[in-house]
Amino acid sequence: MGGQTITANKQAQAAGGTAFGVILAISFCHLLNDMMQALLPAIYPNLKAELGLTFGQIGIVTLAYQVTASILQPMIGLYADKRPTPMALPFGTLFSLAGLAVLSVAHSYGLVVVGACLLGMGSSVFHPESSRVARMAAGGRHGLAQSLFQVGGNAGSALGPLAAAVVVVRWGQSSLMFFALLALLAGAILWNVAQWYRTHGLARLKAAAKGPQPVAPPSRQVVTGISILLALIFSKYVYLASLTNYLTFYMMEKFGSSVQGAQLHLFLFLGAVAAGTVAGGPLGDRFGRKYVIWFSILGVLPFSLLLPFVGAFWTGPLVVIIGLILASAFPAIVVFAQELAPGKVGMMSGLLFGFSFGMGGLGAAILGVLADKTGIETVYRLCAFLPAIGLLAAFLPKIDKHPPLAPTPPGLEPEAV
């Protein structure tokens, strides 16, 4: 144990302490990015009415966004692993800006698809590169850094529909140009982050490379581990999609709740998801990623099985508990994958973020069709068994060793952005 502690001390010194200014900056930009992404589905009713689109055509728009936002992420991450590109962060926001600008004036179906693709490309550049920065700035506290980074995205996803309700619904499709200005704000912040990346982040990578290097597991274990993590993400994000997209309809249909009452339950759930995301990373740092992943996915099962059979009063506390436990998994999953494949931080981040996006979108679509055919209550009774996939966490490779970190040595205080 003493040898592990010495190794941890050396890694903390090489990391240079936790740069909270950098982490909070990319977390805020994550909020802006995901809020801009959430505006696309918000304008679907306007597009359908003005352009006479079918549900099939709207599905193609979603597919165009998901393909560019999901499939490109691991490729961009792999490129960044081989050739770090700090300026990709601020320049990537130009894709989001262009996407919103095109969507604000799109009066043909082709332009809508182009705008969706540009919006997806902005997201595909942001996530793997900013996740790399979070790891650079972590100073050994990788789980905490990922949690703070990801909670920004959770907040942005929650604020997107609210922003659309306040602005887009009132002033129409052209008001998206206002949100395009947020891309400029994100770009300005990420410009400063890129300067830190260039002057401090890359130096941290070089310093860490001179210290003890983690031994990569055998390729078979890596493939098995990544496959299990993807299965767990499938379980997590399809179940999250059932609550995020259909909880309000469930409350209204089963209990006769008002729209406001149903939205309050959704707000409580999303708040619990944000809190769970913040907690998951530090718990992984302290107790080990594998244990957090195991508890987070499988620990939801008793509550998910109970949810379809309780009354309106107990539905609120149950969705809060489910949100808290389930959301704690993703920071631990991302860091576990990064440690499973040393030197491929960007590719692992892009793969997992991209897959989570894809599963969330695909799950929402499939569950919607299922709800049309069988009813919303049937959807929740079937989805209740998804967390059982968490049993696969028992087969994850045992690579996770996290002794307590020593205090930051004098002279290695966090750098400012």
Whole-number pLDDT of residue 303: 93
Whole-number pLDDT of residue 8: 42
Q: Which two tokens stand for residue 350?
A: 């892009």
- The stretch 295-303 carries a mean pLDDT of 86
Band (pLDDT 50/70/90 cuts) for residue 341 is confident
Nearest to 393 by CA among 305, 319, 333, 308: 333
C-beta neighbour count of 210 within 10 angstroms:
9
Band (pLDDT 50/70/90 cuts) for residue 111 is very high
What is the Cβ-side half-sphere exposure of residue 231, based on CA atoms within 13 angstroms? 19
* Sole residue written with tokens 């920004």: 152
Band (pLDDT 50/70/90 cuts) for residue 399 is low
Q: Looking at the domain that runs over 10-213, which CATH code has it been given? A: 1.20.1250.20
Q: Phi, psi at residue 258, to the nearest 5°?
A: -75, 165
User: How far is it, in rounded angstroms, from Cα 286 to Cα 404?
Assistant: 7
Answer whether residue 28 shows pLDDT above 70: yes
- The stretch 379-403 carries a mean pLDDT of 79
* Sole residue written with tokens 């995301």: 277
Q: Which two tokens stand for residue 398?
A: 């045992």
User: How far is it, in rounded angstroms, from Cα 39 to Cα 162?
Assistant: 9
Are 119 and 65 in contact by the 8 Å Cβ rule? The answer is yes
Are 30 and 158 in contact by the 8 Å Cβ rule? The answer is no
Ramachandran category for residue 16: left, alpha or beta (phi over 0 → left; psi -120 to 50 → alpha): left
Whole-number pLDDT of residue 279: 78
CA distances to 130, 149, 203, 401 from 89, in Å = 7, 15, 18, 31
DSSP state of 198: I
Q: The CATH number of 216-399 is which of 3.40.50.2300, 1.10.238.10, 3.30.70.260, 1.20.1250.20?
A: 1.20.1250.20
For CATH 1.20.1250.20, the residue range(s) in the chain are 10-213, 216-399
Q: Using alpha carbons only, give the angle 341, 346, 352 rounded to the nearest 5 degrees.
A: 80
Question: Which of the two residues, 114 and 9, has the higher pLDDT score?
Answer: 114
Answer whether residue 357 shows pLDDT above 80: no
Percent of the chain with pLDDT over 70: 87
C-beta neighbour count of 211 within 10 angstroms:
12
User: How far is it, in rounded angstroms, from Cα 67 to Cα 358?
Assistant: 8
Whole-number pLDDT of residue 410: 42
Answer whether residue 25 shows pLDDT above 90: yes
Q: Which two tokens stand for residue 132?
A: 């790399």
Task: Give the global pTM.
Answer: 0.69
The overall average pLDDT reported for the chain is: 79
166-222: pLDDT as tens digits:
777 677 778 888 888 888 999 999 999 999 988 887 777 666 555 555 566 677 888
- The stretch 68-80 carries a mean pLDDT of 80
Answer whether residue 305 shows pLDDT above 90: yes
User: How far is it, in rounded angstroms, from Cα 24 to Cα 133?
Assistant: 11
Helices 259-287, 329-340: axis angle to 10 degrees equals 40
Q: Using alpha carbons only, give the angle 200, 206, 208 rounded to the nearest 5 degrees.
A: 100
- Helix then strand then coil, in percent of the chain rounded to 5, is 85, 0, 15
